[in-house]
Structure 1
Amino acid sequence: MRELIFELNYQSGWNPVADTLVEYSDATIRSLSCHVTSDNLWRVDHILGSPDALNAVETAYKTSDYFPDCLVTEDCEATSETQVLDRTEESLVIYCVWERSDICTSVPHLALEHFGEGLLFETRQEENRHVWRIILPGNEPIGSFADALRAEIDDIGGMELLRLTDHKPGAGGSATQASDDLSTEQRQALHAAVAHGYYETPRQIELTDLANELSIPQSTLSYRLQRAEAHLATNFVAADSSLDSLSTNQ
């Protein structure tokens, strides 16, 4: 398995979302989900910023000639849909889906063509910077993908490779290894909490009722869950090659 992280920089006037983020430098966009097939691309993005920034970003997403991640410099005649899933004063969640035309291409589609299926994508956007993190299931060389991506973005911006890491099976930092360190009681408490919807929104069961289901005191259940959550969170942060930390180091 390999981890590839690279950055795209858009020139002014090409990408409406990037232009909006330059204007509202306090706003950031992070992908919550991104999936690709040979014909389609759909993603869910989480935007943080001021109310004015959120309004401007939403408008940019819904601009008729803009499609998420499309690298074509002219209208590619793709079919797209954009929908707001959630909105607060300082955050916005947007769902986008588009169906490719014959001339459409994008970062996920190029990755699919060069690396095959089973890819995981994470992105972060701030100002004109769009940082991509792709998890590759194998150890495929990245040279041809990087060359193809540079050729596509040459007229609209630039690309910089930031990190390429090989991850061997059994290396530290996996969720399985982190959970293996939990006690039997903590694992049972987590399994029961998930199964009964304790972590759902809205919550499907309260702590008191969950404790009754397990026939243990509420204080005992609360302690087990807190210790398990703290352990998993600590291991996740320690192992995560996050785009946030990478961004702050640029």
Structure 2
Amino acid sequence: MREFIFTIDYERGVDPVMDVFIDHPSAHSRTIACNVTEEGMWRLERVAGPETALERLDEVYDDPVQCTECIGTRDCKTDWCYEVIGSEPGVRTVYSYRSEAGDCHSIPRLAIEHVGPGVLCETERRQSRCEWRLLLCDDAGVDGLFEAMEAELRPGLTVEFRQLGSPSYWVDEAVTLAELPPEQQAAVEAAVEHGYYRTPRDISLTELAERLDVSRSTLQYRLQRAEAWIVRSFVTRSMGPVQADEEVAEGGRLRIGRSGV
């Protein structure tokens, strides 16, 4: 298996979806699950940000004017389905489906054409940048994918190829609460169950310690260790993988860009 990671930077005015993230720097989206075939792409995405940003995204997705995964100038026509399946203040979980019809050449479609089936995709959008992470069976067709993306690239976009190598990000993603030591896991689960993390709290640290039959200092230590691990995992996940050996270009990253008119 191989891991291919690249980013696309967008100038304002070249993509209506990315314009929302440019205008709302605190907004952020991340793929939860994605399925790609030659016929289309199905995706679950978690979007967080101010309500004004989320409402703008609704408007864009409800009446899409262009393929949101395409980087070219093709006037592609595609069937589109978009539905919010989970919502709370500042956060939404969104299901979307887009068919690959006619002359539409999205990044996932290009990946399948040049690398073959079995591609896993994940994206993360923040400000002017969208990061793509592809998990491939091998890198036999990566050069062709590289050339196709370069040929498709429209003015106002810059592609930065960050990493091609053995999978690391996807392995790091497979972390769960079960990886905590049992006593820390039990402490966190009890704290959530009894409302310790609610605002205001339903239970004090002392009361929770009594329920668990441990000293207050012991419980505090376990929760602090668990919280530190959870926060580190979350921040690492949000920031993306640590830069590893980059095999795409000698001497560092390779950027391809075209200025807008």
CA contact 2:80–2:96 (8 Å) conserved in 1: yes
User: Is contact 2:85-2:94 (8 Å) kept?
Assistant: yes
Q: Give the C-alpha shift of residue 72 in structure 1.
A: 4.3
Q: Distance in 2 between matches of 1:38 and 1:111?
A: 10
User: Residue 2 of structure 1 aligns with which residue?
Assistant: 2
Matches within 5 A, 1:141-156: 142-156=142-156
What secondary structure is seen at the aligned counterpart in 2 of 1:70?
A: coil
Residues in 2 aligned to 1:101 and 1:120: alpha-carbon distance in whole angstroms: 20
- Distance between the aligned counterparts of 1:106 and 1:16, measured in 2? 16
Instruction: Name the amino acid aligned to 2:132.
Output: W
Verify the 8 A CA contact 2:71 2:154 in the aligned structure 1: no
Any stretches of 5+ residues in structure 2 without a counterpart?
A: 183-210, 213-221, 244-261
Post-superposition CA distance 1:1-36 (Å, at most 9, x none) = 111110011232221110111111110111111211
SS in 1 for 2:147: helix
Q: 3-state SS of the aligned residue for 2:57?
A: helix
Give 1:74 deviation, angstroms: 5.0
- Give yes or no for contact 1:45–1:95 (8 Å, CA) kept in 2: yes
Change (3 A) 1:4 1:27: same
Q: Partner amino acid for 1:164?
A: L
Tell me, yes or no, if the aligned pair for 1:68 and 1:96 is still in contact at 8 Å: no
SS at match of 1:58: helix
What residue number does 2:44 align with? 44
Q: What residue is the counterpart of 2:193 in the other structure?
A: none
**1:129 equivalent in structure 2:** 129
Aligned-pair CA distance for 1:46: 0.8
Poorly superposed stretches of 4+, deviation over 6 Å: none
Shift of 1:167: 4.5
Answer with 139-148 or 2-11: which moved more: 139-148
Give 1:140 shift: 2.5
Return closer, same or farther for 1:166/1:41 CA change in 2, 3 Å cut-off: same
1:35-80 Cα shifts (integer Å, max 9, x gaps): 1111111211111101111111221222331333133435412111
Q: 2:239 aligns with which of 219, 238, 244?
A: 244
Contact 1:22 1:127 in 2 (8 A): yes
Distance 1:175 1:28 in 2: 21
Tell me how far apart the structure 2 counterparts of residues 90 and 9 of structure 1 sit (CA, whole Å): 24
Contact 1:72 1:103 (C-alpha < 8 Å) held by counterparts: no
Alpha-carbon separation, structure 2, partners of 1:64 and 1:173: 34
> Where does 1:73-152 land on structure 2 (aligned, <5 Å)?
73-140=73-140, 142-152=142-152
The Cα of 1:173 is off from its aligned counterpart by 6.3
Question: Does the 8 Å contact 2:74/2:103 carry over to 1?
Answer: no
The CA deviation at 1:155 is 3.1
Aligned to 1:57: 57
Secondary structure of the 2:149 match is: helix
Consecutive unaligned residues in structure 1, runs of 5 or more:
187-217, 220-225
Q: CA deviation at 1:151?
A: 1.3
CA deviation string 1:162-203 (max 9, x = no partner): 1112249xxx96969xx9x999xx8xxxxxxxxxxxxxxxxx
Q: Shift of the alpha carbon at 1:243?
A: 5.4
Listed one character per residue, the Cα deviations across residues 85-138 of structure 1 (whole Å, up to 9, x for unaligned) are 112111012111111222101111111111112222111001221100111122
Select between 85-94 and 61-70 the one with higher mean Cα deviation.
61-70
Give the superposition deviation at 1:156. 4.4
- Rounded to whole Å, the distance in 1 between the matches of 2:158 and 2:38 is 25
C-alpha separation in 2, matches of 1:80 and 1:20: 19
Aligned equivalent of 1:33: 33
User: Which letter maps to 1:89?
Assistant: P
Amino acid at match of 2:9: N
Q: 1:95 to 1:66 in 2, by over 3 A?
A: farther
Q: Is 1:30–1:45's contact at 8 Å kept on the other side of the alignment?
A: yes
Aligned residues: 202
